[in-house]
C-alpha cells in the first residue's frame, strides 16, 4: 500500500517536472527576447573596399534595421545586406525587435 502511494507521488512529480520543462522550452523566446549575433564585422577595423556585405543572425526578430533602414530577415533570423561606406569613420548600427517588444542593438565602428 505504501509502495503504491510512493510510486503515485513519483509519477506525479515526474509529470509536473516534464510540464514545467516543456513550458520553459516553448516560452524561452519570450523570456530571452531577440539577440543579434554572428555579425561579420570586426569592431574598430580598417577596411579597404567601400562596398561591404554585412550578414549575421537576429534570432526571433520581426523588425531589423541597418543604419535606420529596415532590412529583411529569414525564418531562422539570418540577414544579408550590402552597404556603401563613406571615406573615413563609419558607424554601422543594427537594431532588432521581436514580437513582444524586446530590443537588441549593436554598433560597429569602421574606418575606410
Rounded to two decimals, what is the model's pTM? 0.73
What strands, in cross-sheet order, belong to the sheet with 51-59? 35-37, 51-59, 78-84
Query: Tell me: the pLDDT tens digits for 10-31?
Result: 889 999 999 999 988 887 766 7
**Residue 36: all three cell numbers together:** 543579434
SS3 of 31, please? helix
Nearest Cα neighbor of 64 from 29, 108, 98 is 98
* Residue 4: band (very low, low, confident or very high) from pLDDT cuts 50, 70, 90: confident
Phi, psi of 28 (to 5 degrees): -65, -30
SS3 of 16, please? helix
Amino acid at each position: 500500500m505504501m509502495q503504491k502511494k510512493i510510486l503515485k507521488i513519483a509519477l506525479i512529480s515526474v509529470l509536473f517536472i516534464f510540464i514545467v520543462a516543456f513550458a520553459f522550452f516553448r516560452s524561452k523566446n519570450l523570456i530571452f527576447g531577440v539577440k543579434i549575433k554572428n555579425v561579420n564585422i570586426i569592431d574598430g577595423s580598417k577596411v579597404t573596399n567601400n562596398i561591404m556585405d554585412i550578414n549575421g543572425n537576429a534570432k526571433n526578430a520581426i523588425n531589423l534595421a541597418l543604419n535606420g533602414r529596415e532590412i529583411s530577415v529569414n525564418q531562422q533570423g539570418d540577414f544579408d545586406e550590402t552597404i556603401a561606406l563613406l571615406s573615413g569613420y563609419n558607424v554601422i548600427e543594427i537594431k532588432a525587435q521581436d514580437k513582444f517588444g524586446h530590443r537588441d542593438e549593436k554598433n560597429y565602428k569602421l574606418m575606410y
